[in-house]
Amino acid sequence: MKILAIDFDGTIVEDRFPDIGKMIPGAKEAINELYSMGYEIIIWTSRTHIRMLEAVEWLAKNGIKYHRINESSPANLRMYGNVDSRKIFADMYIDDRGLHPLPPWPEIMETVRDRHPLYADKIAREGYL
């Protein structure tokens, strides 16, 4: 499974920290489609304590699917001796600070599928199915 670490403030929602900004157009649809395709989604945020709980509630209220928040995949933890570090392991990091300005979500989704294709998606896109 390919792992995507997706930032919250400035990537899923407009950066209005400590408040939660408006959802960035296309974020929900793209993240949920990537989730449904089989990508492991980790929400990666600097929010802690009450601010993280607010983000978790916002994600649930808005129907954005993900596997974990600020936690590496259990498989990766086992691979590194069950030592959890603050660094989240991912195949790709989607963050407004790394992709500035942040491209539209349909473009981000195509970049993910091109750089880190899942086997079934790759076969379908190359015309084998």
Task: Kindly list the domain boundaries of the chain, sorted by start residue.
Answer: 3-125
Place of tokens 């570090």: 85
Here the tokens at position 80 are 């590194």
| CATH no. of 3-125 | 3.40.50.1000
The pLDDT tens digits for 17-35 are: 999 999 999 999 999 999 9
pLDDT grade for 119, boundaries at 50, 70 and 90: low
The pLDDT tens digits for 34-85 are: 999 999 999 999 999 999 999 999 999 999 999 999 888 777 777 767 666 6
Contact residues for 26 (Cβ-Cβ < 8 A; gap 6+): 104, 105, 106
Virtual torsion, Cα 5, 7, 12, 15, nearest 10 deg: -170
Using H for helix, E for strand and C for coil, what is the string for 69-95? ECCCCHHHHHHCCCCCCCCCCCCEEEC
